[in-house]
Structures are given as structure tokens and as C-alpha cells.
A = this chain, B = another copy of it.
Amino acid sequence: MTDLKTSARVQAAGAKRQRLMAAAAEVVHRQGVERTTIADIARAADVPVGNVYYYYKSKDELVAAALSEHARQLELLTGRLNQLPDPRERLKGLIEAWVSQRDLAARYGCPTGTLAAELDKRDEGGLDVEAGRVIRLLLKWVEHQFRELGQPEPGGLALTLVGAYQGMSLLANALRDPRIMDREGARLLAWIDSLVAA
């Protein structure tokens, strides 16, 4: 019985931690790190404000949690795409996933990209390095697909593709126009199709 109670408590605690992590990712994406208060995240996660510090010792830890939530989402996506037999189809699936998020991107930009940009304006903490790691995760996966496609410079192509995504997200956001995601997404799909396997 104590075991049951304990595991239930642990699960509830784990659930709260997870809720806080997911809420941190969402709210920080919408408001940015600096404009997001602990209270904002607590409210979104439906956790009492003063209780947050039991799970995360500081605001920076919550931001780190948001970052790892983004990494988790990315791994979920690439995991799904890895089921596809053809690397070309995997890359096209990635682009389609980006385009499907057009409205969110037009309103708040790429979650990881905007977060990285904001964190790079601090010196302390080292959260900026953490953000770079998540972006590298994406770059490495894309590079791997280009290599499997037999492309000569997979690293350069990955930089171009991910850079195009970051750029189109920023422009869609700055101009508040989701159609930019459609337009550039279509161009990227055509580009991938045009690549000749070596």
C-alpha cells in the first residue's frame, strides 16, 4: 500500500514536472524567455506558482527544460520519418512537417530558432550552447539523409536546407504571412526532387 501510494505520488510528481516542461516550451515560444514569468508557466501548467520551485530550482532550469522538450519533439519527428525507406522521401517529409506548422511559424517563428536567437544574446548560463545543440541535432539528421542520397557535400546541403527553414520562418513571422511557408516549402520540395543521386 505504501508502495502504491509512493508510486502514485511519484507519477503525479513526474506528471507535474512534465506538464511544467511542456508549458515552458509553449509559453516561451509565444512570449519569449524574458517576457515569460514563472507565474505564466505555472498557470499554463496548472501548477501553483510557489510550487514550481520544488520541481525546477530556477527560471533557467525551466528554459533548459523547454529546450529539451523541443529536442524530444524533434526526435519524435525524425523517428517517424526514419520509417520511410527512401532518404529523399524522409527529407520531403521533414519539409512537409515544417509547412504544416505554417500558422504557428507565422505567428511566433520556429520554436527552436527563436529561442536560440534570444539565448545567444546572453553571456551567462550557457543555455545558448544548449540551444545550439538542438539545432545541431537537426543538422546532423538532415546531413545523414543527404549522405545516404549520395550527395557530395551533405554538410553544406544540410546547412542550406535548415538555413532556408529558419529564414522562411523568420520572414513569415516578421511579415505575418503564412503563405511564405507554402511558397518556400514548395521551392524546397522541388529542389530535393531535382537532386540527382550519385
Binding site for B on A (CB under 8 A): 30-32, 34-35, 107-109, 113-114, 116-118, 120-122, 128, 131-132, 135-136, 156, 159-160, 162-168, 170-171, 173-176, 180, 183-184, 187
Contact = CB atoms under 8 A, between A and B. Distances in A.
Contacts of A168: 159, 163, 167
Contacts of A167: 162-168, 170
A96 to B, nearest CB: 18
A132 B117 CA distance: 17
Contact of A35 (B34, B165, B173): B34
A171 B118 contact: no
Contact of A171 (B109, B163, B187): B163
Nearest to A162: B171
A43 to B, nearest CB: 17
Contact of A117 (B109, B131, B159): B109
A165 B167 CA distance: 7
B171 A170 contact: no
Given A108-B120, A166-B166, 14 more contacts: A30-B121, A32-B118, A113-B174, A114-B121, A117-B173, A131-B174, A132-B175, A159-B183, A159-B184, A160-B164, A163-B168, A165-B167, A166-B171, A167-B167
